[in-house]
Amino acid sequence: MSFLHKIRFSHKILGFILFFALFSPSVFAPFSHAASVKASIPESERIDFWSDYPHEELAEALCSRMSDEELFAQILMFGWAGQEASPLLIRWVSERKLGSVKVFGWNTDDIVQVAQAVTLLQQKAQSDRFKIPLYVATDQEGGPIRHVKGRTSDTPGNLAIGAAAYPADAWYSGYYIAKELRALGINMNFAPTVDLYTNFDSSVIGSRSFDHDPHFSGIMGASFAAGCMAAGVIPTAKHFPGHGDTGADSHGKLPVIDIDLQTMRSRELIPFEYLIRAHIPAVMSGHLSFPQIVEGNKPASLSGFFLTDLLRGEMGFDGLIITDDMMMNGATSYTGAVSAAVSLAVEAGNDIVISSTTAQWEEPMWRHNIDRMKTDKTFKQAVLRSAKHVVFSKLKYFKSENPVPLFPDIKGIDAAVPDPDADAFFTAQAARAVTPYKADILPYVPEQAAAEKILAAGQFRDFFNEAGRRYNNPRQFYFPYTLDTAQIHEKAEELAALARSFDTIIFCVANDTSRRVVSQAAARLSGQGKKLIVISVLEPVHVLDFTWADTILLAYSYSTFSFRAAFSALAGDFVPQGRLPLDTDALKDARTAH
């Protein structure tokens, strides 16, 4: 199939997909907060998760028979390090009845081992007296956030979807990503990210956003979530109430976002409103401080105002609320201890509390909260509320028409991952995203360039591979993704010295390091008559002031698909028509302020 044929896309289905994403109740069956009902199931009757009773009634009965330890374990989600589930995690599932597990990015190169670990853990859960399945989650947003690696599709990501501006691209991205997760037994995805691209210094969110516009982002987020649910995987909107307006990373410290509630309602909350109207099953709370709204720098993830009053009360969300990783400093810096942060998270209204690592058997997080359940009736009721909500949501999901099977088909993984149709789609999607920000030399046709000496300078193997495939193996200049200031100057001098012997230089710019290397090298080449071409990946803000460049193409990710599309556009295979998904007026104001 030719590249041009791959990028053709039927516009007739766009209206249907958008309607399907926003209003289809069959896709977004809501996980309503389980009402407090009186269990009519006799206590003498032996029941488990698969007993044939109404969901509300069965959830109430199961939780009423749980010990304090079982209730608290049901609202915890732990991850593990290494290729296989650790003995400690297995023990948490089999003996403490842990409710959920998470696959993090450090243990996923061998996807067959991931599926085998999922199978083992679900088997342990089914051996319990209540037989309650595990939620198995991961972060597979697309673009740079891809925790399950190995043979899964390395997709162009959200900002590329926003640049193309087709809701169908968001739907199919969610669908193909979820189909691959489904094949591994992963039933929950912490995506879509609907944080807005409003802070241009952010490398934490940046290309993970769909756009700066809240309504546009809401439509794209709802479309992505609908595709995810069509494949049977639970989507999760994040990071409530909005992580976009900060350059700080909540993994390292608590970000402070200095906006008032009116600004938040008119901006950050709008994408979540779209998703709530579309019955998003889950929302992730962010470790983010909004001092104009809640005093004392209390993170939103630990705030009853944000989660109970605003998200549930005012906005009407009735699905699961899940914390971001409680091991992040954004959570623990406020309380000083994980055990206290977990208590506050439950009291604030979170249903599931995540830890990226498996807690040790008698860790204070566990003992402190179990002791509180036995002495503090209000806290115990909060844990009971969350446990009932988790069990109720599991009953609705695992007894629905299209849940992810508990036990993945190990023998079928090679045929299912990557999805057989994903390559053609993501190739086309990446092509629709390519944005010609500057096009003085476009196309740069290989036949015309054959007589020229070409240098490719960048950080990624796929960048060099695609440059070589298009332009008769140009000379390569590699420099690392991160460098200190002295190393940046050194690499810039090396690059400029080498480039003087070439007619055309094709630069790859991915972050501030590569921006500085490339811009310093280009300054040394001024007036020498070189053709200077820039291919931007990830956040485009790094290259928008490159007045010296002849051509700037924005590709938005470092996936194979994006490099393939960028070089195809440069070579003239198609005319790139992507849009810049940034508020350029706000960008000018930000630069003026600096």
Residue type for 49, please?
A: F
Cβ atoms of 431 and 565 within 8 Å: the answer is yes
- Cβ burial 291-314 (10 Å sphere, 16+ → b, else e): eebbeeebbbbbbebbbbebbbee
Mean pLDDT, consecutive 10-residue stretches, the chain (594 aa), reads 40 44 45 54 94 97 98 96 88 98 86 96 98 97 95 98 98 98 98 94 88 97 98 98 74 82 97 98 96 93 98 98 88 84 97 95 95 97 98 98 98 98 98 98 94 97 97 94 97 98 97 97 96 97 96 98 98 97 78 60
Q: What's residue 2's pLDDT?
A: 41
d(CA 526, CA 303): 54
Q: What's residue 330's pLDDT?
A: 63
Q: What number of residues does the chain have? A: 594
d(CA 422, CA 402): 21
Cβ atoms of 383 and 342 within 8 Å: the answer is no
Beta strands, E only, 104-241: 135-138, 140-142, 145-146, 188-189, 234-240
For every residue of 574-593, which 3-state class applies, written as one string? CCCCCCCCCCHHHHHHHHHH
Residue type for 120, please?
A: L
Residue type for 434, please?
A: V
This prediction has a pTM of: 0.93
Q: Minimal CA–CA distance to 77: which of 353, 363, 382?
A: 353
Residue 360: exposure state from Cβ atoms within 10 A (0-12, 13-18, ≥19):
exposed
Q: Which helix (H) or strand (E) holds 533?
A: strand 531-536
Q: What's residue 10's pLDDT?
A: 42
Q: What's residue 592's pLDDT?
A: 61
Residue pLDDT, tens place only, 261-303: 999 999 999 999 999 999 999 999 999 999 999 988 899 999 9
d(CA 249, CA 566): 30
Q: What's residue 245's pLDDT?
A: 76
Quote the DSSP letter at residue 12.
Answer: G
Q: What's residue 199's pLDDT?
A: 87
Residue 358: exposure state from Cβ atoms within 10 A (0-12, 13-18, ≥19):
buried
Catalytic residue among 245, 324, 325, 351, which?
324
Beta strands, E only, 69-147: 76-79, 100-103, 135-138, 140-142, 145-146
For every residue of 447-512, which 3-state class applies, written as one string? HHHCCCCEEEEECCHHHHHHHHHHCCCCEEEECCCCCCHHHHHHHHHHHHHHHCCCCEEEEEECCH
- CA torsion 536-539-545-549 (nearest 10°) is 0
Domains and CATH numbers, the chain: 68-416 (3.20.20.300), 435-577 (3.40.50.1700)
Cβ atoms of 222 and 21 within 8 Å: the answer is yes
Catalytic residue among 33, 55, 251, 368, which?
251
d(CA 153, CA 160): 15
Pull the structure tokens for residue 326: 């409680």
d(CA 421, CA 153): 11
- Chain mean position to CA 353: 18
Is 324 among the catalytic positions?
Answer: yes
Cβ atoms of 285 and 301 within 8 Å: the answer is yes
d(CA 259, CA 526): 43
Give the three-state DSSP class for 549.
coil
Residue with the two structure tokens 């402070």: 256
Is 421 among the catalytic positions?
Answer: no
